[in-house]
Structure 1
Amino acid sequence: MGDLLQQASLASEFPSLAQRVNGEPLAYLDNAATTHMPQAVLDAMREFETTSRANIHRGVHTLSQRATDAFERARGDLKRFVGAGPGHELVFTSGTTDALNLVANGLSDAGAGRPYLQPGDEIIVSGLEHHANLVPWQQAARRTGATVRILRPDAQGRLHADDLAPLLTPRTMVFAVTAGANATGERPPYEELLALAAEAGALTVLDAAQAMSHDTPQLLALACDFMAFSGHKMYGPMGTGVLAGRRKALERLTPLRFGGDMVIWVSEQEASFAELPARLEGGTPNVAGAVGLAAAAAFIEATGRGAIDAHVRSLRAHAVAGLSALDGVTVLAPHAEAAALVSFVAAGAHPHDIGTLLDERGIAVRTGHHCAQPLLDHLGLGPTTRASFALYNTHDEVERLVAAVARALEVLR
């Protein structure tokens, strides 16, 4: 199936990739930051905008009804995509960061009553996290008097269930973990970690942004109260995302945005709020974005999640082998076989310089701390160069990457 994904017919589904950069064919290897969109997603969004654009839920006219139907159909399609059951609900957000802030704020804001988090409570966050799954919890702790504790990875960047168990106490109220570390590619045993935390009585939070495009977590199979992900990392539009999870857990959240469609009635002094999911979706939503996100999920399913996963793993293994063979190059988490990305550091060469020289050859990578500075500080490696793979990338592009890094190191040294 991996060979199938290298066919020109599939690559041609992504119009933005058929361009040259600095005179070279574009090798886009920055997919952990943002993927490109296939024609099917572009067509779905254009179809909505040209035939059904209107505000939802509030109008009796035909276009409003069409828009409402399209929006709610997208919700239903995405609930099936993430394996939601009858006890789950799905809320549209602007992305993973928005979704995680909604959870952290919703559990720490008093709203109309006592906040879920209280002084002396503990929030456990893994040491692999993107800043978006750390900083909101720091702020929640400051607001409430709770304490943030870190589940630290080992020297190779792995998380272990045996290290989580001693951290869990009767005061553990929240456990937050990633399904895939965006800085190293580490895929922690999040299924086991979530189950341990849930058994201890904590609410559980999964940042699934890096997994959704190829190793999609399924809610019914997880002890997961809240799961967040972004459209732009799974071949969908920017500014779209999802917070999905157990309805009972979502009902605990104080809304982050008030007004618009999330109210039932309003007086001069009081207001009553709608039921889920509307209660957490105040304001006019990105309806075309929701349609595009559902189309992206359909594209992934049509291509085959297993085929995509096998393909990106193969590309990652190829890149690890090639980069590790270069003098002075250290690959982070070389053991992380389930990853779709590879990060590395090179002695005597700054990542920004490497990235600039790669761009001259039409190769797009990401450099820096990747919004995961505590993890890279823990590993003692500083900023890195990161190449990340998607279903449209090829082994030829991996060969170009390795050759271009080798040449960049010759220049910089």
Structure 2
Amino acid sequence: MTSHSFDVEKIREDFPIFSRELPDGRPLVYLDSGNSSQKPNQVIETMREHLALHYSNVGRAMHVLGAESTDAFENARDKVAGFVGAPSRDEVIFTKNASEALNLLAYSFGNPANTDPRFTLGPGDEIVISEMEHHSNIVPWQLLAQRTGATLKWFGVTDDGRLDYTPELITERTKIVSIAHQSNVLGTVNPVTEVAARAREAGALVALDASQSVPHHPVDVTALGADFVAFTGHKMVGPSGIGVLWGRTELLEAMPPFLGGGEMIEAVWMDRSTYAPIPHKFEAGTPPIVEAIGLGAAVDYLTEVGMEAVEAHERTLTAYALDALREVPTLRVIGPETLERRGGTVSFTLEGIHPHDVGQILDDQFGVAVRVGHHCARPLHLRFGIPATTRASFYLYNTTGEIDALVRGLHHVQKVFA
């Protein structure tokens, strides 16, 4: 594998899972990377080697293993910062996933310990999200509204799956706007720089759920104009159990700790404590050490392939899939049917057939792994008047032949229910 040419067959050789067979000798067709991605040998071996030869707790032990482990852990932070264009490594906070990152952020608003006016929140203040959000970017803000008496508002979604962006929804009462960079159901890439500019005009802060964008597109957090960006490791060829909250230094410094415990402190007395500088202020206890190191290896892998190449490959796959799915009678794509401002996630329904049946037949008879259900985005499905969808999501290791297998399987599903 080199960064100069995109050879999908060569890339697939890096992922051991594609060498296995499913029961009855079926090949695995994995079209569920929007849920969680597969892992290359480079990530697996980096984690195995650290556990076998270098493991120790970080930031504590004054011996060789402690130094090696700490260096590897903090080196991973450097890699993540570089990958997303963070101005400072200290702006990268390791969490266990994007959900924890967004909860950490929501906890700071309306918290009596935070007297910074940008974070004070009460009745009359507003939180703005959108109807296409993952539950991870809905529920923390609902809880915040319940705690503080603030009002939760949201952008709607158009019939073709675009953000119904109405700038006037953001007012001088808005404290935080938190939206998805890319929808995990629709594939829609939202106009986040435009939203961020309007939020700045109104004096509001902006957070982005970038769980579906950072793995698939070149992302520069500064260029996006956001104040906070959350994403997760397991969707970007890294391990589970590791996520990231990026935030602007001055804002992170103004925020109180989310969790208390070891390593997030500067000094502790029986009646009070002072706290470590960022990012450690937000990383209480033993962190996900090997997972962070694995995420660093994932960043190395994606950097070597080249994110522009990943994006271009997925664009080709998405165009192919949108064309191929049009051949399936009664199939309805939920979301944009063109490549404009959309990523490699295609959700759809088949008239009269429940997505759970679609997914089971695809898996049992064709080895095609897709996601079925509401994909942790129930309000979006309610918006379209449907209980669930079938979702195919593509990544750097997928091929047009796998999309052909999906389409063959869907034709068979229709025959079964004819």
**TM-score bucket of the superposed structures, by smaller chain:** over 0.9
- Could you tell me how far 1:259 is from its partner in structure 2? 0.7
Which stretch of structure 1 is more off in the superposition, 82-91 or 13-22?
Answer: 82-91
SS at match of 1:20: coil
Report the counterpart of residue 71 of structure 2 in structure 1. Answer: 69
- Residue 156 (structure 1) aligned with residue 160 (structure 2): yes
SS at match of 1:152: strand
Taking a change above 3 Å as real, the CA distance of residues 72 and 150 of structure 1, as seen in their structure-2 partners, is same
Report the counterpart of residue 311 of structure 1 in structure 2. Answer: 313
5 Å matches for 1:353-372? Answer: 353-360=357-364, 361-372=366-377
Q: Distance in 1 between matches of 2:32 and 2:39?
A: 13
Taking a change above 3 Å as real, the CA distance of residues 371 and 78 of structure 1, as seen in their structure-2 partners, is same
Q: Distance in 1 between matches of 2:37 and 2:353?
A: 27
Report the counterpart of residue 395 of structure 2 in structure 1. Answer: 390
Q: Distance in 1 between matches of 2:3 and 2:30?
A: 18
- For 1:348, which of 342, 347, 352 is the aligned residue? 352
Taking a change above 3 Å as real, the CA distance of residues 264 and 221 of structure 1, as seen in their structure-2 partners, is same
Report the counterpart of residue 139 of structure 1 in structure 2. Answer: 143
Amino acid at match of 1:184: L
- For 2:410, which of 391, 394, 405 is the aligned residue? 405
- Could you tell me how far 1:266 is from its partner in structure 2? 1.3
Amino acid at match of 1:12: E
Q: Distance in 2 between matches of 1:282 and 1:86?
A: 20
CA offset digits 1:32-74 (Å, max 9, x no partner): 0000111111111112112221111112111111111111111
Is the contact made by 1:93 and 1:240 (CA closer than 8 Å) also made in structure 2? Answer: yes
- Could you tell me how far 1:401 is from its partner in structure 2? 0.4
- Residue 10 (structure 1) aligned with residue 11 (structure 2): yes
5 Å matches for 1:198-277? Answer: 198-277=200-279
Report the counterpart of residue 381 of structure 1 in structure 2. Answer: 386
Which stretch of structure 1 is more off in the superposition, 149-158 or 396-405?
Answer: 149-158
Q: Distance in 2 between matches of 1:271 and 1:88?
A: 21
Report the counterpart of residue 21 of structure 1 in structure 2. Answer: 22
- Could you tell me how far 1:251 is from its partner in structure 2? 2.3
Q: Distance in 2 between matches of 1:182 and 1:204?
A: 19
- For 2:338, which of 331, 335, 340 is the aligned residue? 335
Taking a change above 3 Å as real, the CA distance of residues 349 and 5 of structure 1, as seen in their structure-2 partners, is farther
Q: Distance in 1 between matches of 2:81 and 2:199?
A: 24
SS at match of 1:235: coil
Q: Distance in 1 between matches of 2:378 and 2:11?
A: 36
- Residue 32 (structure 1) aligned with residue 34 (structure 2): yes
Q: Distance in 2 between matches of 1:29 and 1:112?
A: 43
Is the contact made by 2:211 and 2:235 (CA closer than 8 Å) also made in structure 1? Answer: yes
SS at match of 2:234: helix
Is the contact made by 2:318 and 2:339 (CA closer than 8 Å) also made in structure 1? Answer: no
Q: Distance in 1 between matches of 2:219 and 2:200?
A: 17
Q: Distance in 2 between matches of 1:3 and 1:112?
A: 48
Is the contact made by 1:121 and 1:146 (CA closer than 8 Å) also made in structure 2? Answer: yes
Which stretch of structure 1 is more off in the superposition, 315-324 or 369-378?
Answer: 315-324
Amino acid at match of 1:375: L
Q: Distance in 2 between matches of 1:45 and 1:255?
A: 29
Is the contact made by 1:186 and 1:336 (CA closer than 8 Å) also made in structure 2? Answer: no
Q: Distance in 2 between matches of 1:112 and 1:82?
A: 28
- For 1:97, which of 93, 96, 99 is the aligned residue? 99
Is the contact made by 2:79 and 2:296 (CA closer than 8 Å) also made in structure 1? Answer: yes
Q: Distance in 2 between matches of 1:341 and 1:171?
A: 35
Is the contact made by 2:347 and 2:390 (CA closer than 8 Å) also made in structure 1? Answer: yes
Structure 2 residues without counterparts, runs of 5 or longer: none
SS at match of 1:327: coil
Q: Distance in 1 between matches of 2:148 and 2:16?
A: 48
Q: Distance in 2 between matches of 1:86 and 1:262?
A: 19
Q: Distance in 2 between matches of 1:210 and 1:329?
A: 24
- Could you tell me how far 1:160 is from its partner in structure 2? 4.6
- Could you tell me how far 1:4 is from its partner in structure 2? 5.4
Identity among equivalent pairs (%):
40
Q: Distance in 2 between matches of 1:112 and 1:217?
A: 30
State the Cα RMSD in Å.
1.8
Amino acid at match of 1:181: S
- Could you tell me how far 1:254 is from its partner in structure 2? 2.5
Report the counterpart of residue 80 of structure 1 in structure 2. Answer: 82
Post-superposition, which runs of at least 4 consecutive aligned residues in structure 1 deviate over 6 A? Answer: none
Is the contact made by 1:351 and 1:368 (CA closer than 8 Å) also made in structure 2? Answer: yes
Taking a change above 3 Å as real, the CA distance of residues 362 and 159 of structure 1, as seen in their structure-2 partners, is same
CA offset digits 1:103-140 (Å, max 9, x no partner): 01122332375862222210000221100001100001
Taking a change above 3 Å as real, the CA distance of residues 79 and 304 of structure 1, as seen in their structure-2 partners, is same
Number of residues of Structure 1 aligned to a counterpart in Structure 2: 411
Q: Distance in 1 between matches of 2:45 and 2:334?
A: 39
CA offset digits 1:140-165 (Å, max 9, x no partner): 1111111110111222221254x1x1
Amino acid at match of 1:263: I
Is the contact made by 1:340 and 1:390 (CA closer than 8 Å) also made in structure 2? Answer: yes
Is the contact made by 2:114 and 2:120 (CA closer than 8 Å) also made in structure 1? Answer: no
- Could you tell me how far 1:2 is from its partner in structure 2? 12
Q: Distance in 2 between matches of 1:275 and 1:26?
A: 46
Is the contact made by 1:208 and 1:217 (CA closer than 8 Å) also made in structure 2? Answer: no
- For 2:292, which of 286, 290, 293 is the aligned residue? 290
Is the contact made by 1:330 and 1:344 (CA closer than 8 Å) also made in structure 2? Answer: yes
Q: Distance in 2 between matches of 1:404 and 1:183?
A: 21
Amino acid at match of 2:19: A
SS at match of 1:108: coil
- For 2:60, which of 58, 61, 70 is the aligned residue? 58
